[in-house]
Structure 1
Amino acid sequence: MRWLLRAVGAILILVLLGAGLLLMVPTERVAQAAAQQFEKLTGRALTIEGKVTPRFWPVLGVTTGPVSMANADWSKEPGPMFAADGLVIEINASALLGGDIRILGLRAENPRILLERAKDGRENWVFGGGGSGGEVSEATPGVGKSYTLEQGRISGGTIRYIDHASGRRIALDNVDAVLKVPDFTGPFTLELSALSGGQNVALSAQADVFSAFTEGRVVPLTLKASAGKARVAFDGRAGWSPLAAEGTLEADLPDLPAVGAAMGSAISTPPPGFGADRLTVAGQLTLDGSGAAYLRGAKIVADANEITGDLDLKPGKDRPKLSAQLRSGPLVLAGAAGGSVQGGGSGGGMQAAGWPKDRIDVSALGAMDAAVALVAPSVDLGVAKLGETRALITIDRARAVFDIRQMAAYGGSVTGQFVLNGRGGLSVGGDLALKGIGMEPLLQDMAGWDRLIAQGNLTLNFLGVGNSVDEIMQGLKGSGSLSLGKGEIRGLDIGGMLRTLDAGYVGEGQKTIFDGIAGSFSIAGGVLSNSDLKLVAPYLTATGMGEIGLGKRDLNYRIRPTALTKEDGSGGVMVPLWITGSWADPTFRLDLEAIAREKMEAEAKAAEERLKAEAKAAEAKAKAELEAKLAKEGIVAGEGESLEDAVKRKAQDALTEEAGKLLNGILQGN
């Protein structure tokens, strides 16, 4: 940029100093000579079409026809770098005779300017000197020569900026700009207005020491910029080679889409709590020349939220990284849930017909990486209200991890991690531990349900994929466990149902008091499944198993309560209770068929046991009678000997005895 300013300045001065030759030389040859000199100095071809008209007194000047300047040879974009319908250059002739250069006017009609940055970092506006082509040097006539500019103007122009490395494109139309330099070593002003993406943009700058600024050095600077309804103001010192600044920054950003359009980026309106209606930023800004930005003593106001702290933004290989230490007042972030009503449902809590189907836009996660420590006295998420919170938020390649170091909630605490992953779509996950949580206010906030009164512990890990709350809940998976201390379930009297076998013990005034509830669960395809629920209550125990549709918001759950009648817990009445239907309108039904079926099964089992007992008794009686009869015959089973073995033994003894007698008779000759 420094050599661009030197080249243009040198050309203007050389042309104007030699303007007297116009009396003797045809204007076509003057234009040709100027073009040749320009190419020699810059290495770029300059084309001047049409008539060149000189003026000599009291204003020395030149008016041209269409003018164009070639682009860099590496550019593949069509068209020149600069083109205009005409140029008008005017200089104070009497001052020139005295050795001073006072430019009264420099005007470009309908200029078209193309600025490009190549993937390898080359810039098409760098030319003329410094190894970038052309012969501009410190020795070139006009370089370093002081001058003043009463008014330099661009009218009806267009400016296009293309960064081939990042893919960013910025377009400004209807550009009107005025530059005034009343003193080459003193202050100067710049006013610019344009259209970008249909939005009005404007820039106003006042700075000191124009000569130093043209060299890129840091000078006092006051800057104001606007895009749509957004306003940014800077007051301090700044320079552009390298880009450096130090001063006070104030930004009012109620129109982020307009800011994004002006910067060549797509920025959507943030949700409520994040700057939907109001977003301001203030603090001491420092740009250190390396591409890093530091904001100290920052104050950020986003809707009703106020955050203070220090922020560092440093360039990275693929994206910048934000590091921050932030403190806030009470945070209201109800818009973060993607829905605007309690419990996330489109109709409100348990009564909702379904989950919100609005697309959740997390494209902003890919804008930068981050490591942000946040301390807040309270956080209202709309579906949950939290107390004092300390968290570390890290973002890496559009994946945000909320590491909860401390979080008070509903009389208890929450620890763990919550993950928001915007890589190639949206997924949410978490591994959370809730201890000593008041279930009534928690469920009231999250689901609009105030029927469970107890304190308890909950562990939960989950993962959901989708671009809306509805898609996430329909495919949710995970697992967890729940344990509750003493409490009550309002609107349901299980004991009354058992005593009367009447499912009508539902509604206002009904309740079940319990000593504890515990169970574990798994989640797959948006359905929570449980098979080991246990409830202990005075005069009552219960087990439970079934499914809760988290995606479809329905119930299919069976409770098997048993009313106790004995101190040892035995006996009593057991009546299964089915809970089915939607969350909004559940149905409670006593499973009397199950009672009858279980009674028949019990009676059949008892009959079978009775028959077995009778058969066993008959067998024992027959055995006793046989033993008595054999005893009369002298056959008695010995210790450890069965009756059958005793009979065999007796028979063997008799056979042995008879055989002995027969042998004895033979030996004696009988």
Structure 2
Amino acid sequence: MKWLLRILFLFVVAFGLVIGALLLMPGDKLAAILAEQVKSETGRELKLTGDVNLSFWPVLGMETGPVTFGNAPWASSEPMLSAESLAVGVDAAGLWNGDFRIRRVFAEQPTLRLELSDGRGNWEMSAASSQPSSGSSAASSETSTSGVVTLDRLELTNARLIYIENGATKFDFSNVDLSASWPDPAAPMTMEARMAVPGGKVKVDLRIPDLPAYASGAVTPLKLALTAPGGEFGFDGRVNLAGEMDGNLEVKTNDTEKMLAAFGQAGVGVPLGLGRVADVSGHMTYTKEGRASLRNLEAQLDHNRFTGEADIEISDPPKITARLKGGDIDLSRYNDAPATAGGGSGTASASAPDSGWSTDPIDASALALANGEIRLTASSIAVPELTLGPSDLTLSLDRSRAVLRMAPATLFAGQVTGQVVANNRNGLSVGGELNAQGIDLQQALSTLAGIDRLTGSGSGDFEFLGVGQTEDQIMRSLSGKGSLNVGQGVISGFDLDRLMGRGKDAGGTTVFDSLTASFNIDQGILTNNDLLMSLDNFRADGTGQVNIGARTIDYLFTPVALRANSGQGLAVPVRIVGPWSDPSIKPDLSKVIEAAAEGKLKDIEDDAKQKVLDKVSDELGTAVTDTESAEGALKNKLEEEARKGLLKLLGGN
């Protein structure tokens, strides 16, 4: 028994001497020993600066000053982890049982750089695989996997988090406070993160029920909640170590522009009706290539509701491919200013109806928000001053250039096919090629130009191009061409029947059977020289100009009688001139005087000619009806007089 007590005493003394030696050892020497042990276990360089303080029981711990931990050999040259200070504590009693229970990991101003390349993560560490030695790899593998690893508390204060995937930086966040806990192998791992952003803070709560399975690369459940200024994001599904995800997604915003600003997209305006306030849900699948697909998509964007599916490629800007269905979509106030802090709303100043086109700058920055193609079928679509009926539209976006294809769109009670283009790459331009069938002309002209005097159903083609940063500039720069074919219709405001002398009052309107015309546009001026309007007893030709930029018209109708109308008909040209909102419509008296003068001169000429013929008839004693008969009668008279004179000279009878 005395020998046993002596051995135990010697063991305690030896252990005490070792502990005492460690406590008395200089900090730099302790740092070198720890760095050597870390490298042997992980294959990474650990550099400790400043004093190193140790604790042994009940927590085996270390506190140090600035520290860096090396990256994987295949990763970038920057360290995987660096910090201004680091404190690590491990449960000492658990080590006797082979368990590695981390009590605490505290780091001040750390930078954590996570890199993933070809399925490898720089957080995966194995000294045996990186530095193999003969006869020791199997034993090393067994010892490294024995026991249980848990984490009571991880805290990173004022951290910088960087994630790099296949050489591309996916995110780089600063001023992050992060905490994590995994107290038991069967317990879920929970993590909370806070980050300062413009307008407030982003809060992330993450929960992985089976961390060992996740760490091994298996697909495991995941719950994620993100709260940011202006909205929140939620995910409930599955995830793997490569970051691939599959599950139910929900995004809600009460101020989408504020949420975009929080994630570095300040100044991006969201049109009213496309999600200033949004509630989006669906089943999401995300791949490690940065592609997300949404199925069973339901989106409430302001007052508009959409369903369908979408594929999104996470890039700058994002690429979107979507097929959406909607009911009655209202975008008529898309440019309204967001509500003010006091609850009111502001709108851009609008020009008075007759004051001309707006000179307010057009904000086309939304064309740069994304690339891709979005197809929308809807029961109706209302935009400012225009409402489409049931329509099938496809919007293609490519580097600030948008192409809207209609296949078809229901507009003004008719069908429109073709495309409209808006290009904001080097200044704003708009253009298009359209074919229209069965268009209600009164609706179209009243909406587009404020003209409501022409009624009828028409078809035609239209090509146009305009350039400018305001509505006024675009209208004054318009160029293009087109044609129009109208069936039976009515022009209100003047009565061609009365002007043609038919003696009937049509109530100040002109009813026509058909109307055709073609036109060209140059510098905002539309020119037409071949208008043909067919009426019951006459036709009307037209020629003139419409100044689209100045919103004026100067046009001349020239009626042509098709039958005499009992001798009472007289062609009276009609000139339409002035602002197109209220033009002057009246007969062109100069044309009437010219026509009347030409008719009077003809009558005088015919009367004088007839009097000459009558006088010749009296003198010659024979009826003369025209110039030729007068010449013949005069010749005969001269011959007869010559014959009588010759006989008299010869003494005959």
Which segment is superposed worse, 535-544 or 380-389? 535-544
Q: 1:589 to 1:111 in 2, by over 3 A?
A: farther
Q: 1:566 to 1:87 in 2, by over 3 A?
A: same
Q: How far off its partner does 1:181 sit? A: 0.8
Q: How far off its partner does 1:284 sit? A: 1.4
Structure 1 SS opposite 2:240 = strand
Q: In structure 2, how many angstroms separate the alpha carbons of the residues matched to 1:74 and 1:606? A: 108
The runs of 5 or more residues in structure 2 that have no matched partner are: 1-17, 339-346, 614-625, 644-653
- Letter paired with 1:25: M
Q: 5 Å matches for 1:110-189?
A: 110-113=109-112, 126=122, 135=131, 139=140, 142=144, 146-159=148-161, 170-189=171-190
Percent identity among equivalent residues? Answer: 31
Aligned to 2:430: 428
Q: 1:571 to 1:183 in 2, by over 3 A?
A: same
Structure 2 SS opposite 1:96 = helix
Q: Does 1:48 align with 2:66?
A: no
- Letter paired with 1:455: S
Aligned to 2:332: 334
Q: In structure 2, how many angstroms separate the alpha carbons of the residues matched to 1:74 and 1:569? A: 103
Q: Which of 587, 592, 603 is matched with 2:589 structurally?
A: 592
Q: Does 1:358 align with 2:358?
A: no
Q: How far off its partner does 1:52 sit? A: 1.7
Q: 1:115 to 1:428 in 2, by over 3 A?
A: farther
Aligned to 1:105: 104
Q: Once the two structures are superposed, what CA deviation does each residue of 1:348-386 show, in whole Å capped at 9, x if it has no partner?
A: 68535213533332555563322x443212221233212
Aligned to 1:8: none
* Aligned partners of 2:388 and 2:411 also within 8 Å: yes
* Aligned partners of 1:545 and 1:558 also within 8 Å: yes
The TM-score with structure 1 as length reference comes to 0.74
Q: In structure 1, how many angstroms separate the alpha carbons of the residues matched to 2:42 and 2:428? A: 51
- Letter paired with 1:245: M
Q: In structure 2, how many angstroms separate the alpha carbons of the residues matched to 1:286 and 1:492? A: 66
* Aligned partners of 2:367 and 2:402 also within 8 Å: no
* Aligned partners of 2:501 and 2:569 also within 8 Å: no
Q: 1:157 to 1:461 in 2, by over 3 A?
A: same
Q: How far off its partner does 1:423 sit? A: 4.7
Q: In structure 2, how many angstroms separate the alpha carbons of the residues matched to 1:589 and 1:42? A: 97
Q: How far off its partner does 1:174 sit? A: 2.8
* Aligned partners of 1:41 and 1:135 also within 8 Å: no
Q: How far off its partner does 1:482 sit? A: 1.9
Q: Does 1:57 align with 2:36?
A: no
Q: Once the two structures are superposed, what CA deviation does each residue of 1:374-402 show, in whole Å capped at 9, x if it has no partner?
A: 32122212332122223344445654443
Q: Once the two structures are superposed, what CA deviation does each residue of 1:410-445 show, in whole Å capped at 9, x if it has no partner?
A: 333222333344554444333222222222333444
- Letter paired with 1:152: L
* Aligned partners of 1:256 and 1:267 also within 8 Å: no
* Aligned partners of 1:286 and 1:295 also within 8 Å: yes
Q: In structure 2, how many angstroms separate the alpha carbons of the residues matched to 1:362 and 1:577? A: 44
Q: 1:464 to 1:298 in 2, by over 3 A?
A: same
Q: How far off its partner does 1:306 sit? A: 1.0
Aligned to 2:371: 368
Q: 1:417 to 1:452 in 2, by over 3 A?
A: same
Which segment is superposed worse, 256-265 or 44-53? 256-265
Q: In structure 2, how many angstroms separate the alpha carbons of the residues matched to 1:129 and 1:31? A: 21
Q: 1:361 to 1:44 in 2, by over 3 A?
A: farther
Aligned to 1:268: 268
Q: 1:102 to 1:578 in 2, by over 3 A?
A: same
The TM-score with structure 2 as length reference comes to 0.76
Q: Does 1:441 align with 2:438?
A: no
- Letter paired with 1:248: N
Aligned to 1:12: none
Q: Which of 518, 521, 524 is matched with 1:523 structurally?
A: 521
- Letter paired with 1:391: L
Aligned to 1:192: 193
Aligned to 2:386: 384
Q: Once the two structures are superposed, what CA deviation does each residue of 1:187-246 show, in whole Å capped at 9, x if it has no partner?
A: 1111111123454212111111112223443211111113321211011111232x3222
* Aligned partners of 2:320 and 2:370 also within 8 Å: no
Aligned to 2:5: none
Q: 1:37 to 1:429 in 2, by over 3 A?
A: farther
Structure 1 SS opposite 2:578 = strand
- Letter paired with 1:230: G
Structure 1 SS opposite 2:270 = coil
- Letter paired with 1:26: P
Aligned to 1:325: 323
Structure 2 SS opposite 1:391 = strand
Aligned to 1:658: none
Which segment is superposed worse, 597-606 or 329-338? 597-606
- Letter paired with 2:108: E
* Aligned partners of 1:68 and 1:80 also within 8 Å: yes
Aligned to 1:413: 415
Q: 5 Å matches for 1:219-618?
A: 219-241=220-242, 243-261=243-261, 268-276=268-276, 278-289=277-288, 291-313=290-312, 322-335=320-333, 347=350, 350-355=353-358, 357-364=360-367, 367-370=370-373, 372-395=374-397, 399-493=401-495, 510-537=508-535, 541-561=539-559, 566-567=564-565, 571-581=569-579, 583-588=580-585, 590-597=587-594, 599=596
* Aligned partners of 1:171 and 1:196 also within 8 Å: no
- Letter paired with 2:85: G
Q: How far off its partner does 1:178 sit? A: 0.8
Q: In structure 1, how many angstroms separate the alpha carbons of the residues matched to 2:71 and 2:639? A: 128
* Aligned partners of 1:295 and 1:311 also within 8 Å: yes
Q: How far off its partner does 1:285 sit? A: 1.5
Q: In structure 1, how many angstroms separate the alpha carbons of the residues matched to 2:337 and 2:595? A: 47
Q: 1:550 to 1:69 in 2, by over 3 A?
A: farther
Q: 5 Å matches for 1:7-86?
A: 22-23=22-23, 25-36=25-36, 46-69=46-69, 82-86=81-85
The runs of 5 or more residues in structure 1 that have no matched partner are: 1-17, 635-670
- Letter paired with 1:331: I
- Letter paired with 2:59: V
* Aligned partners of 1:315 and 1:321 also within 8 Å: yes
Q: Relative CO higher for 1 or 2, CA cutoff 8 Å, sep ≥ 6?
A: 1
Q: 1:435 to 1:143 in 2, by over 3 A?
A: same
Q: 1:57 to 1:315 in 2, by over 3 A?
A: closer
* Aligned partners of 1:339 and 1:356 also within 8 Å: no
* Aligned partners of 1:256 and 1:269 also within 8 Å: no
Structure 2 SS opposite 1:103 = strand
* Aligned partners of 1:307 and 1:327 also within 8 Å: yes
* Aligned partners of 1:43 and 1:128 also within 8 Å: no
- Letter paired with 1:60: L
Q: In structure 2, how many angstroms separate the alpha carbons of the residues matched to 1:48 and 1:569? A: 116
* Aligned partners of 2:192 and 2:206 also within 8 Å: yes
- Letter paired with 1:62: M
